[in-house]
Amino acid sequence: MTGLLASPDGWPRVLLGRAEAKDPTDLDAAVRAGAFAGLKRAVHDLGPEALIREIAASGLRGRGGAGFPTGEKWRVCAAAEAADGRRFVVANGYGADPAVSTDRVLLERDPYVVVEGLAIAAFAVGATEAIVAVRADQPDVIRRLETAIASAEEAGYLGPDMLDTGLDLSVTVRPVQGAYMLGEETVLLKALEGRRGQPEQRPPHPAERGLFGSPTVVQNVQTLASVPWIVANGAAAFAKIGSKASPGTILVQIRGAATDGVAEVPLGTPLREIVALAGELAPGRTLKAVLVGGPSGGILPADLIDTPYEFDALRAAGAHLGSGSVVIVDDRACVVDLGRLLTRFCADEACGKTIPCRIGTRRLSEIADRVTSGRPRPTDVQLLGDLASDIVDSGLCDHERLATLPLMSGMRYFRAELDEHILHSSCPAGVCRPIAIAAGALAAGAAQ
Ligand SMILES: Cc1cc2nc3c(=O)[nH]c(=O)nc-3n(C[C@H](O)[C@H](O)[C@H](O)COP(=O)(O)O)c2cc1C
Ligand code: SF4
């Protein structure tokens, strides 16, 4: 199983409370440790409307990146007209960032917490069909989920007449495989329909018109896994964890010099404390930056290390929660080169449906290429900024905006390093080798 990092005593465990179970698919052990208490309260004590109010009052926001309020999504879905009477709930366990295994850790270590959250969401919005979408290349996850779902059905928590309510709930696991964009909700829904996926214009949002045209709640697996705790312990208790605007906890993939693992952290924790979980920097190195949010993340300088790790503060700083990745960058790295690599990834993964994203991210990537390879133009800083602001808000799925973050945060916080590349064809970190070669060749030429 994928590794967990030890977190400090006293940090709450909403998601991974049962993560140390010997056999995560053992239903009796999970129930003894609290599994399905939330579902029972939801169906026997609350009912759909009070349940949606409880989730809204908890302040739970989607863990898939955007931080949309979960209670509001459920309210819209429950109120939407279902032409053929069908409604769906889809757990997004795709985990698009290839370097992040947070969702996988959760599904491997506690499939029941996701399944229970899915069942509660389905009950809230009146869905009779629920799907867990997972990566086809994670057979362990698939096997555990299938075992957990079969056991929960046999015990009457799911399936026909779940918990003696007269309601039916079918839960299925759907392995999917594709590229980065498959994590985006409208692409995922198309894949589940067996169609080629590109993002769709919204509105209508999937909560109103989603899978096969029916109202569909799409929710990241961590969002769903937060739900049983909220229902079992109450919205007020949940709202006290984390920060006021972003309550609860989240899983973070933390990568440092010697460490790469997953930790559950309360939202609002200063980046400094998250970085500390990765242990010491390599001997003799100093912290230069922290890359927050994955391939389309923001590169934040060491002096922003006290930024709270939560949706709004990170966005204001020019980063985002994104895939839940925090990468520690020491003084050996060149931020311009890092921005170049990330922008290239984002350009390669853009699906191409909207032209400013398709061409704009590619142009950003090309400019970054020439800046790091000794062929900069004096106007490149201006061009990067103008191009990025033209791209933002022109796409269908937000990828176009997110794809500008690595270079824009690099420009904002590491301008002197960028200027060195552009004005003097020099890489202060000595990473952009072609620049050194180009500069060396020029110097040699001048000496002749
Ligand atoms: C390019 C792109 C990739 C995404 N990848 C994922 C992903 O891997 N997993 C995920 O849960 N959400 C991903 N999202 C967000 C989903 O579109 C959607 O907002 C989310 O699944 C909704 O669940 P939540 O409200 O619980 O966050 C991605 C969005 C974009 C634009
Ligand atoms: S913004 Fe980019 S990734 Fe999103 S639909 Fe448009 S081209 Fe595709």
Question: Using CB atoms within 10 A of its CB, is residue 441 exposed (0-12), middle (13-18) or buried (19+)?
Answer: exposed
Task: Tell me, yes or no, whether 283 and 394 share the same domain.
Answer: no
Task: Work out the percent of the chain whose per-residue pLDDT is above 90.
Answer: 91
Mean pLDDT within 39-60: 98
Task: Tell me, yes or no, whether 191 and 145 share the same domain.
Answer: yes
Half-sphere exposure of 368 (CA within 13 A, CB side): 30
Task: Tell me, yes or no, whether 149 and 66 share the same domain.
Answer: yes
Measured in Å, residue 195 CA sits from the centre of ligand 1 at 18
What pTM was computed for the model? Answer: 0.96
The answer as to whether 159 is a domain residue is yes
Confidence of residue 7 (pLDDT cuts 50, 70, 90): confident
pLDDT in tens, 85-110: 899 999 999 999 999 999 999 999 99
Q: Which residues line ligand 1 (CB under 6 A)?
A: 62-66, 68, 92, 94-96, 181, 183-185, 218-220, 223, 397-399
Task: Tell me, yes or no, whether 301 and 380 share the same domain.
Answer: no
pLDDT in tens, 225-263: 999 999 999 999 999 999 999 999 999 999 998 889 999
The atom number, within ligand 2, closest to the CA of 403 reads 2
Task: Tell me, yes or no, whether 218 and 96 share the same domain.
Answer: yes
The CA distances from residue 441 to 374, 425, 430, in Å, are 11, 12, 16
In the chain, the number of structural domains is 3
CATH number of the domain residue 272 falls in: 3.10.20.600
Distance in angstroms (rounded) separating the CA atoms of residues 13 and 179: 31
Indicate the residue among 296, 330, 364 that finishes a domain: 330
Mean pLDDT within 53-72: 97
Distance in angstroms (rounded) separating the CA atoms of residues 246 and 231: 17
pLDDT, position 437: 64
Q: Range of 434's domain?
A: 335-447
Is 203 within 8 Å of 73 (Cβ atoms)?
Answer: no
Pick from 184, 224, 226 the residue to mutate for probing ligand 1's pocket: most ligand atoms within 8 Å of its CB: 184
Measured in Å, residue 41 CA sits from the centre of ligand 2 at 41
Is 334 within 8 Å of 327 (Cβ atoms)?
Answer: no
Residue 82 in 3-state DSSP? coil
Task: Tell me, yes or no, whether 258 and 401 share the same domain.
Answer: no
CATH number of the domain residue 195 falls in: 3.40.50.11540
- Is beta strand 249-255 parallel, antiparallel or unpaired with respect to 325-330? parallel
Q: Is pLDDT at 13 greater than 90 in this prediction?
A: yes
Measured in Å, residue 106 CA sits from the centre of ligand 2 at 29
- Alpha carbon of residue 166 to chain centroid: 36
CATH number of the domain residue 400 falls in: 1.20.1440.230
Whether ligand 2 lies within 6 angstroms of the CB of 108 is answered as no
